[in-house]
Amino acid sequence: MMWLGWALAALGFALIFGQYAAGQADIFVSIANPRPLDEESMVVTLKGWGFAAQAAQPFVTPESDHGLCDVRLFATRRQMLVAIATFGFLRPVTVAWRANAGILPLGDA
């Protein structure tokens, strides 16, 4: 039965390591024909397995009157370790975005 214990332990480790690695993946959504400004980011912490969410700062960006150009969602190594260590109770993720400079019509010189 010893081998079964080791096998289950290895399986558990592989499951956790897989979550740790996959959680750092970069999910990237962009509009077509992007005209990006500088990137800004904030950390959102999901609490209680997603029942509540708290951002470190409000979602503001100074030049977003032409909307957003693209958004990235990812977790850093430290954020994934926090999530694993708290059994997922805390799940911090980084949201990064770039505002759109806008596409202005061709004018006359």
Partner 1 sequence: MPIVKLGEEGRWTNYHGTGTCEAATRFALRSGDAERGRDEIAIAAKSVQDWLAQAAAEKRRVRPLGAGWSPSNVNISSQSWLLHTRRFNRCFRMGADDVRPGIDAGALMLVEAGALVDEVSDKFEEQGRSLWTSGAGNGQTFAGASATGTHGSMIARGGIQDHIRALQIVTPAGIRWIEPDAGVMSDAFIAATGSTALRDDNMFAAAQLPVGSLGIVTALVVDSVPKFLVRPIQNLRKVDRAALDWLAAGDFRRFSAAYALDQDPDFVQMIVNPYKPFKRPAMLRFLYREPWRDDYPRATPGQLGAGYDALSLLGRLLNDYPWARGPLLQFAMKQGYASGPDIDAPPVYGSWGEGLDTHRPLADLFNASVTIDRADLARAFERICAVYARHGGSTVVTIRFMERAQGLLAPARFTHNAVIDFDGPRSQRTADAYARVVECLDAEGITFTRHWAKSCRLDAARVAADYGEDFRRWRAARDRLLPDPAHRALFGSEVLDNLGLTC
Residues found near partner 1 in the complex (CB under 8 A):
26, 28, 30, 33-38, 62-63, 70, 101-104, 106-109
- Write down the least CB distance from residue 13 to partner 1, Å: 21
Task: Select 40 or 90, whichever has its Cβ closest to partner 1.
Answer: 40
**What are the backbone angles phi and psi of residue 75, rounded to the nearest 5°?**
-120, 140
Nearer to partner 1, 50 or 62 (CB): 62
State how far the Cα of 93 lies from the Cα of 75, in Å rounded to an integer: 5
Amino acid at 50: G
Minimum gap (Å) between residue 70 Cβ and partner 1 = 7
